Amino acid sequence: MTARPTTPFPAATVLGYPRIGPDRELKKALEAHWSDAAAHPAETVLDTLAQLRRRTTTRLVELGLTGDAAVPSEGFAVDHVLDTALALGAVPARFAADGYKPAAPDTPRGVELVTALSRGTDHLEPLELTKWFDTNYHYYVPEIGPDTALSAHPESLVERYATTLAATGVATRPVLVGPLSLLLLSRGETTDDAGARPLDRLDDVLALYISILSALAEAGVAWVQLDEPALAADGWDVPRAELVAALESAYARLSYPSHRPQILVTVGYGDAGEDAQLALARTDVDALAVDLDRGDVPGESALAAWGERPLVAGVVGGRTVWRTDLARAVEKLDLLRTRARGPVAVGTATPLLHVPHDVARETRLDPEVRAWVAFADQKVSEVVALARGVGEGWDAVAETLREDAAVREARANHPATHRAEVRERTAAVRDGDRRRDSAEARRAAQHERLRLPELPTTTIGSFPQTLDVRRARAEHRAGRIPEAEYTARIREEIARTVRAQEQRGLDVLVHGEAERNDMVQYFAEALDGFATTQHGWVQSYGSRCTRPSILFGDVSRPAPITVDWTSYAASLTERPVKGMLTGPVTILAWSFVRDDAPAAEVADQVALALRDEITDLEAAGTAIIQVDEPALRELLPLREADRPAYLDWSVGSFRLATGGAATDTQIHTHLCYSEFETVLDAIDGLDADVTTLEASRSGSGIVDGLAAADFPRDVGPGVWDIHSPRVPTFEEVAGRVRHAAHAIGADRVWVNPDCGLKTRGWPETEAALDRLVAAAVTVRAELATDDDAAGARSTPSRSTSPGSAQPALAFER
């Protein structure tokens, strides 16, 4: 026997709300605790969490989410995936061996556990961070191997519900990542687990979910939300049919007990697929939320199977900051309502964690642009208005619909969204504009011009951003120091950076990016068509937030951006200084991009602005220009069918940006934050002369992958992991250089760190760069000896064996 709904599903809801706080309260509390736990004990974090939870609840009710269970009660424990993993007691054995026991997250011990898992300890690596679907949010990857001990910990879920109810009178809806998605997003604990999949633990995990659901029922919870976004993505190591079968049996089990809350299953981040919808319909789950922002209105057969159970129509997108097109939302809702047999509630397509809190606070944003934008609170109001229309008829919200149409029309007619000169230029782009001279011709011309040694050394661009530099920028921004003084201070920093590189003997220098707050925002501020916000923070991972710019209009470059700083650096040295730009795909990926023009067109506008910048850099004598694209992999669509079109426009825009460079200008690109194996062809398609990649944490994986793929271009697989202050040993660095030189070929390999150095301090930067240069010098010498040895057909050189590199000691600090 199974439970039947008793509390009806509310007419309006959101799947989640920003968790960090309107003034980043959670970030501040966590970071204070992490930097000084004695002054800011775990209780201060818990207090902040409790306050934020109360604030979120009252705010959502105030905005109109008044129904029972309309307000989600989310896990705040730095990450929702980690929060669910902790409800399952998933503490990896290496932490357990160190005395960390499972704990409910909202307790002092829970805060310590979350801290250890997310930040690591002296001797334990933290959980890995990975992109959450195709967003710029990163979650902590749970480690669930065949032997990981698991146990149910519903205490915090129950307590959040009970304390919110007591404090505000609101009965909330607890949210967990669903069992299937949780396991698909997890990995094994050790490489020994490689053969076993976390999904093999589904039975164990289901038993725990059942006991958690029972504890929630005991506490009086009417509805619980289980998120299964994994269903919207391809690429899991499980065939789709097996996945859907697992979904059905999992939810059949979860919905079987009579002592449980009603279950809302959400997908989000795209279309669940009819196979998954039909599978869920065959179980006794009580409500289903569908993404109608990115996905389609479910078909007749799925809806017939679903019967009279409620559906949550996710018509308000949670991924962008644009107002919802209410007329289109009405159309979708009407279509769904004619097909659906049961009630239709209105909701967001995803949680609102990807958008900032409230656009009303953006008092410096152009009022016209501000009217086009909806942050979380505005999206909640859209949901509430649409739900009212569903309930009372569209006439009841006619005024809101009219106002939206008027704003939409004003936006379409605004001169900034349609600039003839920009449109004409993109329309005139020809295939040839995306094509340079042949790779061989370029290689020869660049060799002739640059005369670099084998295994040339370089860095990725940024150098340590000291407090002093950041202060100078802040003062400049606030208008507190005159332009000339600011320029002098940045120049001083550039000079110091150039000197430090010359002293260490690097071959290709950089200016260090001291003038840049953020690699995207810096360009957004210099280009027309972008706006920046004051409070538009969104969580990136843990306590880290970013403040994406808003790309709202046609893009153009009013004046050169980087040329003065780069030229100044070049004037201080005989060695080549690399110009440093952020590529079009990354600029789009890390901004809120307009939804009223195709991405390909927007990307080409940005590309043309960068193309002009490259022309100006070349005219100023720059021989090497790097165009960073760390986000190339990140925007890759979740569904395989959508990938070719994406790769076409993204690669095309990079080629448009760089396609005007002279044959003897060396174009570099840089990628990081992801697995590259799936996009090696696209990286090749960028047609850059040199590609530097984050690689040192992958062991020899990426290097071997490049070698196996016979990657035909020069590459710089990172040999120094810059994500921690640890200085690698000479042997480690030399080992990586040697391996790359042998696997890929010394004539193709560059020697560089994994990524930019802006989060590092100067001492460790100097020490690590010393070793990096020494490693390159040593391996060059070994290779020369090898060649001699091969020429003389003598016995193999001793110096190629690991650990025999003599200069090591001289460079140990």
* Catalytic site positions: 723
Number of residues written out for the chain:
813
Q: Would you state the structure tokens that stand for residue 688, as one six-digit string? A: 């850059």
Q: Which does 580 bind (CB under 5 to 8 A by kind): Zn ion, ligand GLN, none?
A: ligand GLN
Query: Comparing C-alpha atoms, which of 241, 244, 346, 246 is closest to residue 293?
Result: 346
State the minimum distance, in angstroms, from the CB of residue 508 to ligand GLN. Answer: 13
State the minimum distance, in angstroms, from the CB of residue 748 to ligand GLN. Answer: 21
The Cβ-side half-sphere exposure at 438, using a 13 Å CA radius, reads: 3
Q: Which does 758 bind (CB under 5 to 8 A by kind): Zn ion, ligand GLN, none?
A: ligand GLN
**Phi and psi dihedrals of 794, rounded to 5?**
-90, -175
Give the footprint of Zn ion on residues 611-640 (CB under 5 A): 630
Q: Is 624 in the site for ligand GLN (CB under 6 A)?
A: no
Q: Which residues, 6+ apart, have CB-to-CB distance to 75 below 8 Å?
A: 82, 83, 84, 87, 105, 156, 157, 175, 176
Q: CA–CA distance from 756 to each of 291, 460, 629 (Å)?
A: 37, 5, 13
Query: Comparing C-alpha atoms, which of 619, 597, 607 is closest to residue 665?
Result: 619
State the minimum distance, in angstroms, from the CB of residue 579 to ligand GLN. Answer: 11
Q: Which does 271 bind (CB under 5 to 8 A by kind): Zn ion, ligand GLN, none?
A: none
CA triple 533-535-541, angle to 5 deg: 105
Dihedral angle over CA of 252, 256, 262, 266, nearest 10: -10
Cβ atoms of 534 and 361 within 8 Å: the answer is yes
* Residue whose token pair is 């110009």: 579
User: For strand 544-546 and strand 538-541, is the pairing parallel, antiparallel, or unpaired?
Assistant: antiparallel
State the minimum distance, in angstroms, from the CB of residue 582 to ligand GLN. Answer: 7
Give the footprint of ligand GLN on residues 570-589 (CB under 6 A): 580
Q: Which does 462 bind (CB under 5 to 8 A by kind): Zn ion, ligand GLN, none?
A: ligand GLN
Only one of the segments 94-102, 312-320, 459-467, 479-487 lies at the binding site for ligand GLN (rule: CB under 6 A); that segment is: 459-467
Q: Is 755 in the site for Zn ion (CB under 5 A)?
A: yes
State the minimum distance, in angstroms, from the CB of residue 630 to ligand GLN. Answer: 4
Q: Is 628 in the site for ligand GLN (CB under 6 A)?
A: yes
DSSP letter for 121, please: -
| Nearer of residues 62 and 675 to Zn ion, judged by Cβ | 675
Using CB under 5 A, count the residues that bind Zn ion: 3
Q: Which of 15, 111, 672, 690 binds ligand GLN (CB under 6 A)?
A: 672
State the minimum distance, in angstroms, from the CB of residue 184 to Zn ion. Answer: 27
State the minimum distance, in angstroms, from the CB of residue 755 to ligand GLN. Answer: 5
Q: Is 630 in the site for ligand GLN (CB under 6 A)?
A: yes
H or E element: which one contains 603?
helix 599-619
Query: Comparing C-alpha atoms, which of 135, 15, 48, 32 is closest to residue 546?
Result: 135
Q: Which of 22, 461, 529, 717 binds ligand GLN (CB under 6 A)?
A: 461
What share of residues in the chain are helix, strand, coil (percent, to 5)? 50, 10, 40
Q: Which does 652 bind (CB under 5 to 8 A by kind): ligand GLN, Zn ion, none?
A: none
Q: Which does 775 bind (CB under 5 to 8 A by kind): Zn ion, ligand GLN, none?
A: none
| Nearer of residues 554 and 634 to Zn ion, judged by Cβ | 634
Give the integer Cα–Cα distance in Å for 424 and 275: 45
State the minimum distance, in angstroms, from the CB of residue 547 to ligand GLN. Answer: 16
Dihedral angle over CA of 642, 646, 647, 648, nearest 10: 110
| Nearer of residues 276 and 672 to Zn ion, judged by Cβ | 672
Q: CA–CA distance from 287 to each of 281, 302, 310 (Å)?
A: 9, 13, 5
Position closest to ligand GLN via CB? 756
Q: How many CB atoms are closer than 10 A to CB 441?
A: 12
Q: Which of 554, 623, 756, 808 binds ligand GLN (CB under 6 A)?
A: 756
| Nearer of residues 519 and 703 to ligand GLN, judged by Cβ | 519
Q: Which of 185, 373, 672, 808 binds Zn ion (CB under 5 A)?
A: 672
Contact footprint for ligand GLN (CB under 6 A): 460-462, 513, 519, 580, 628, 630, 670, 672, 755-756, 758
Q: Which residues contact Zn ion (rule: CB under 5 A)?
A: 630, 672, 755
